[in-house]
Amino acid sequence: MIREEMKVGPKGQVVIPKVFRKTLGITPGSKVIFELHGGKLIVKRSITDTVKIFSQVANSGKSVKVSPHEYEKELEERFT
């Protein structure tokens, strides 16, 4: 078990110790979840919804129009 004591700052902020950030893969911009269970505060790394992220990227980009014959020849060459 790893245990570290940190000081709470004037705004209620606490730095997540490096050993925990590295172990959980928490990087700047990562989201964390706080849960309260029986007087204990639990901090969890948020699980990324990859499908949601790809959907957002796909919907925010410009449309790309490809005519069918542009890639048919390439596919034919690759698979024959």
- In 1-80 the beta strands, taken as DSSP E runs, fall at 32-37, 40-45
For residue 67, the tally of other CB atoms under 10 A from its CB is: 7
Q: Tell me, yes or no, whether 13 lies in a domain.
A: no
3-state secondary structure of 3: coil
**What tokens were used for 34?**
């706080």
Q: Rounded to whole angstroms, how far apart are CA atoms 38 and 41?
A: 8
Instruction: Decide if 1 is inside a domain.
Output: no
For position 13, what pLDDT does the model report?
A: 95
| Residue 7 covered by a domain | no
Residue 9 lies in a domain: no
Digit-by-digit pLDDT tens for the chain (80 residues) are 889 999 999 999 999 999 999 998 888 888 899 999 999 999 998 876 677 777 777 787 766 565 666 667 677 777 77
Domain that holds residue 71: 18-79
Q: How many domains does the chain have?
A: 1
